[in-house]
Each structure stands twice: as C-alpha cells, then as structure tokens.
Amino acid sequence: MKNPFEKMPTVLTADELIDKAFRRAERAASAYNPPGGKVAKARQREELRVRTVSNVVRDNLRKILDRTPGVSTLPKFYQELVDTLVDRDQFHKSLARVNWAVKTIRNLEQRHVEKIRFERDPKEIAKLRRAFYGRVADILHEIDDDLRYLNQARNVLKELPVVDLELPTVVIAGHPNVGKSTLLRALTNARPEVASYPFTTKGINVGQFEEHYLKYQVIDTPGLLDRPLSERNEVEKQAILALKHLGDVIVYIFDPSEYCGFPIEEQMHLFEEILREFGEFPFIVAINKVDIADEEKVKAVEEFVRSTGLEPVKISALTGEGLEELKKRVIEIVEPKARELAKKIMEKELSKFRGEL
C-alpha cells in the first residue's frame, strides 16, 4: 500500500510556468532554421513558439490532473483524512480550473496557429504570437490561486500515513506520553521517535509484526486529548480516523504513574468518552509503566477498568513486562481476519500460477 498522493507533482505558480514555457519556446526557435523565404521562416518559427508554449504549459497542468487521484475513488479512511487536512470542495474546484485551462489553451493554440499560417506580413505574424503569449499568461494568472492551493494541498497530502487497509489492525490509543510509541516499538519493527515530554507523536506511526506466519499491523495514534471530539485539532482528528476506519481492536493505555502529565481521573474520563464513541470495537486495556507506578494507583485503574466489564493487562512497554500476554490477547481477536487474508493471498497466487502454466 502506498500513499495515494505520492505521485502528485510539485505545482508551479503561474509566473514560474510562464517563465518555463517562454524560455523553452525561445530555445526551440533559436535552434530552428526552417527552409523557405522570409515569410515562410517567420511562420514556422512563430508556430513553433506557439506550439512549444502550449505543449509545455498543458503538459505541466495535465501532470497535476493525471497524478492526482480522485478523492471519491479512495478508501474511506483516505477520503475522510483528505477532508480533515484540506478543503475537498476547494480541491476539486481547483482541479476543475486546471482542466479548464488545459482545454482553453489548446483551443487558443489551434486558432492562433491557423491565423499565423494565413498571415503574409512577418510583423503581423509576430504580433499574433505575442497575442497568444498574452492570452496564455492571462489564463495562468487567472488560475494562479488554484495552482498555489493545489501545491499547498500536495505538500500536506504527500505526508499521509501509509497503511495496509487489508491487514488486521491494532490501534493504540490514550493520552500523550502514556507509552503508545514505546509500545509500538516493542511490538513491531517500527522506529518512531520517542521523547520524554507530551505531544511528541505528530502523526500516525505504523508498524507490523508476524506471528506464526501471519501478519498484523499496529498503529500508534497521536495523543487524544480529553475534550469533545468537535474541539480536536487536525492531528487528533487523524487519530479518530484511525480508530474509526482502521481498527480491528483498540489497545487503550493507562499511565498510573501519571508521569505523562495527566491525572488518573482525566485518563479515566477520556477512556469513557472513547468507549462510548467506539463501543462497537473490541477493547483491550493495558495499564502501562507498572514498573514505576504506585501500587495503589495501579489498583485504582484496575478497579475502574473492571467496572466497565473489561479485564486489564498490566505491562511495562519499556521493560517488556506483560507484553506477551498483551500480544496473546490481541492475536486472539484478530487472528481469524489474518488467516482469512492469508487464504485470499494464497488463492490469488495459486490462480496466477495456474494461469502461467
């Protein structure tokens, strides 16, 4: 699975594209020595300039259209992530304006080339070419805001997390600095940056692990803060999307040591909110940092979790304590999906093999 926007090209501004096209046209005309008399040479050189400018501009604009996937064709996860990070309506509008510019410049090229071919005065021929240049520049300046917007969107969208939407997925949730990134690193081959202060996870970190030849995906969400969903920032919304569209099981982490900077009461409140919002998902609760947390606070969290009908597992993501038990619980929930996926992959490979025979 790749980032669907990774091939979206850098979008030039109107002035950058004009400069690129005009310079290319001048180089082409300078190197061209057509046969014929003065009028014939003028026609051919100016036609070359017109066609070169048109081709350079349209090729650059078409690349934007061809390499930008249709948002509505993307999996639901990526659709909502795009909605979170950019204005989808403006995104579509800007792409439509680029498409309009491609068609309009092509029509202008055809009309001006036709006029150049019938003109007998070299000065008038040059005048027609300059008029074409002016119209192209006007069109590009007319869509300059759209070009700038698309480039800004491209810079955001190329950073979308790369996830495998088919793999059974474990989503790690909880307040900042409770140990989500450390747990991801302990369970998988991922190497997220981990720091000793809150709000260190800036996006969705993804890792994978294998157990008995079956693959599993683990996602570390950004810190989910204890306030209504409607008030969350863009990074937090990414976490919500991960929970909604990627999770087969949610591993919720408590930090009874409170070194994360959030009191137990706040952590409990957030857990209740997430449990209400995503109660249809299987939950596994991990009480982390038991190697350094006060026993009374660990017991308080245990009692609270059991009151919700869940049985917590005590772990230390840093030392490895309890991780095998946690992994065992996770696999019990998602192994059926992993086996089904492995079966589909095997059937696909067998079908491909038979077709090659």
Secondary structure (H, E, C), 80-148 = HHHHHHCCHHHHHHHHHHHHHHHHHHHHHHHHHHHHHHHCCCHHHHHHHHHHHHHHHHHHHHHCHHHHH
- Under the banding of pLDDT at 50, 70 and 90, the label for residue 223 is low
% of the chain with per-residue pLDDT over 70: 90
Q: Are 330 and 252 in contact (CB under 8 A)?
A: no
Report, as an integer, the average pLDDT of 8-32.
96
Residue 117 phi, psi (nearest 5): -65, -25
Q: Other C-beta atoms within 10 Å of 221: how many?
A: 26
Strand partners, 285: 252
Report, as an integer, the average pLDDT of 303-328.
95
Provide the pLDDT for residue 229. 65
Helix axes 180-187, 323-356, angle to 10 degrees: 50
User: Is the pLDDT confidence value at 357 over 90?
Assistant: no
As given in the structure block, the two tokens for residue 250 are: 């949610």
**Residue at token pair 């059991």:** 306
User: What does the alpha-carbon distance between residue 16 and residue 38 come to, in Å, rounded to a whole number?
Assistant: 33
Provide the pLDDT for residue 293. 94
Highest mean pLDDT among 101-105, 274-278, 341-345, 347-351: 101-105
Residue type, position 225, single letter: L
Report, as an integer, the average pLDDT of 215-242.
71
Q: What is the DSSP string of 10-67?
A: PPPPHHHHHHHHHHHHHHHHHT---SS-HHHHHHHHHHHHHHHHHHHHHHHHHHHHHT
Provide the pLDDT for residue 194. 47
Residue type, position 211, single letter: E
User: What does the alpha-carbon distance between residue 85 and residue 238 come to, in Å, rounded to a whole number?
Assistant: 9
User: What does the alpha-carbon distance between residue 218 and residue 334 come to, in Å, rounded to a whole number?
Assistant: 11
Provide the pLDDT for residue 264. 94
Report, as an integer, the average pLDDT of 42-53.
95
Residue 318 phi, psi (nearest 5): -75, -45
Nearest alpha-carbon partner for 337 in 165, 85, 101:
165
Report, as an integer, the average pLDDT of 315-327.
93
Provide the pLDDT for residue 276. 86
Q: Are 45 and 189 in contact (CB under 8 A)?
A: no
Ordered domains of the chain (ranges, CATH): 14-157 (1.20.120.1190), 169-350 (3.40.50.300)
Report, as an integer, the average pLDDT of 133-143.
98
In this structure, which long-range contacts are made by residues 128-136, counting pairs with CB atoms below 8 Å and at least 24 apart in sequence? 128/46, 129/46, 129/49, 129/50, 132/50, 132/53, 132/108, 133/22, 133/53, 135/108, 136/18, 136/21, 136/53, 136/54, 136/57, 136/105, 136/108
User: Is the pLDDT confidence value at 278 over 80?
Assistant: yes
Give pLDDT tens digits for 81-115. 888 788 889 999 999 999 999 999 999 999 999 99
Provide the pLDDT for residue 79. 86
Give pLDDT tens digits for 123-135. 999 999 999 999 9
User: Is the pLDDT confidence value at 59 over 60?
Assistant: yes
Between 292 and 83, residue with greater pLDDT: 292
User: What does the alpha-carbon distance between residue 155 and residue 51 come to, in Å, rounded to a whole number?
Assistant: 31
CA distances from 244 to 128, 157, 222, 280 (A): 58, 20, 14, 10
Residues of 18-52 as b/e, b for ≥16 C-beta within 10 angstroms?
A: beebbebbeebbeeeeeeeeeeebbbbbbbbbbbb
Query: How do 214-220 and 205-211 pair as beta strands?
Result: antiparallel
Residues of 269-301 as b/e, b for ≥16 C-beta within 10 angstroms?
A: ebbeebbeebeebebbbbbbbbeebeeebbebb
Mean confidence (pLDDT) of the chain: 88
**Residue at token pair 């006007």:** 138
Single pTM value for the model: 0.78
312 torsion bin: left (phi>0), alpha (psi -120 to 50), beta (else): beta
- Under the banding of pLDDT at 50, 70 and 90, the label for residue 228 is low
User: What does the alpha-carbon distance between residue 294 and residue 135 come to, in Å, rounded to a whole number?
Assistant: 74
Provide the pLDDT for residue 232. 72
Q: In a 3-state reduction of DSSP, which class is residue 151?
A: helix
% of the chain with per-residue pLDDT over 90: 58
Provide the pLDDT for residue 347. 79
